[in-house]
């Protein structure tokens, strides 16, 4: 005679095998909307980050050393190391 617990377990396993893979329902994203955001965020405007100005062409010394040139005449690197420009 088989035990009732074993029969129940076997039938559950057989049912899940017949039903195929479980389908996942998409989550409801409405609960993650604006309602949960901090109310103080709307009152204070956020400062825009400063965009770095791109130098059109680095000075010859900065190009030779492959370092960042700030574009000043003479640049900071050349001024510190007293390079001719």
Instruction: Name residues whose C-beta falls within 8 Å of residue 39's C-beta, 6 or more positions apart in sequence.
Output: none
Condensed to tens digits (0 to 9), the pLDDT of residues 23-34 reads 555 555 555 555
Q: What is the pLDDT of residue 11?
A: 52
Decide if 72 contacts 59 (C-beta within 8 A): no
Q: How many domains does the chain have?
A: 1
Judge whether 63 lies within some domain: yes
Judge whether 70 lies within some domain: yes
Q: What is the pLDDT of residue 66?
A: 93
Judge whether 3 lies within some domain: no
Q: What is the CATH number of the domain that holds 76?
A: 4.10.240
Judge whether 15 lies within some domain: no
Judge whether 33 lies within some domain: no
Q: pTM for this one?
A: 0.34
Judge whether 62 lies within some domain: yes
Structural domain containing residue 74 = 56-85
Q: Which H/E stretch holds residue 6?
A: helix 4-19
Query: What region, left, alpha or beta, does residue 37 occupy, with left being phi > 0 and alpha being psi -120 to 50 degrees?
Result: beta
Decide if 66 contacts 50 (C-beta within 8 A): no
Judge whether 17 lies within some domain: no
């Amino acid at each position: 005679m088989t035990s009732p617990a074993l029969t129940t377990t076997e039938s559950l396993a057989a049912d899940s095998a017949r039903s195929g893979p479980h389908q996942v329902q998409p989550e409801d994203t409405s609960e993650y909307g604006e309602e949960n955001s901090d109310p103080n965020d709307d009152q204070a405007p956020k400062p825009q980050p400063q965009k770095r100005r791109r130098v059109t062409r680095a000075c010859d010394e900065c190009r030779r050393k492959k370092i960042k040139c700030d574009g000043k005449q003479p640049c900071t690197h050349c001024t510190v190391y007293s390079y001719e420009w």
